[in-house]
Amino acid sequence: MIVVHHLAHSRSQRILWLLEELGVPYEVRRYERMPDFKAPPTLFEAHPLGKSPVIEDKSEGIVLGESCAIIMYLRQKYGESQTMSAEGALDDLYYTHYAESTLLPLLVTRQRLLRFANSAPWYLQPLFHYALSAYREMYVEPDLPRHCKMIETHLTRNSWFSVGSDGPTSADYAMIIGLEALVVAKIVTPETYPAIRKYIEKVQARPAYQAALQKGGVFLYAKQTLATEQRGPEA
């Protein structure tokens, strides 16, 4: 049995999606976020860094952190025998690392900078907004269009992140939450990056993704990206 230590509204949601696709039985231990959106201290009981996701594979006596290490481990052990072309394997390798090493750190920093400025006491807000926006304009915002363009180009030409694949591989599990976050941030819309938007819809429509949503509890990124869709494109 696999136990997933699952922080609400976090990158651990995709581990549930993967486990549903693999058909591996698992148990979810859900942790709610604190009022400042940080992970609760109870997560330290699962892992010394207090981060999510963490899985326990009881059959092996294994405890493992880091989203993409977990994805690689689960797919290798319980997974997919799909053979990829050399080109597809290289895409899979690239986007699996890119998701956690480059895209998500950028998006997490962006979200934290905005949240932190908004949570300052009222008399400090103008000061904090000014300084943190200047930082964001220097290190975050100029990169975003390049990232979106690279991903959009790839998804315009390919159904999945691994070229020639007929279903999700590691890179797709790795990438999904970053793409959902781009929709929530209103950077990706059906007008700006239609291929990314369509890709997200395709993933969210999969029975395994839907089953993972049921199992994991409320997931703001899915809720908000679906809601955006229902409301129609943003102005």
CB of 139 or CB of 141, closer to a copy of itself:
139
For binding to a copy of itself (CB under 8 A), which residues are involved?
A: 48-51, 62, 64-69, 72-73, 90, 93-94, 96-98, 100-102, 104-105, 108-109, 112-113, 116, 120, 124, 127-128, 130-132, 134-135, 138-139, 143, 146-147, 149-150
Find the shortest distance in angstroms from Cβ 231 to a copy of itself: 31
The least CB distance from residue 233 to a copy of itself, in Å, is: 26
Output the smallest distance, CB 16 to a copy of itself, in A: 19
Nearer to a copy of itself, 82 or 101 (CB): 101
CA 94 to CA 22: how far, in whole Å? 22
Q: What DSSP assignment string belongs to 4-39?
A: EEEETTSTTHHHHHHHHHHT--EEEEEEPPPTTSPP
CA distances from 143 to 43, 70, 73, 206 (A): 32, 28, 31, 31
C-alpha 209/C-alpha 226 separation (Å) is 13
Pick the closer one to a copy of itself by CB: 102 or 234: 102
User: Which CB, 105 or 167, lies closer to a copy of itself?
Assistant: 105
Cβ of residue 161: shortest distance to a copy of itself, in angstroms?
Answer: 13
Q: How far apart are the first and last CA of the chain?
A: 47
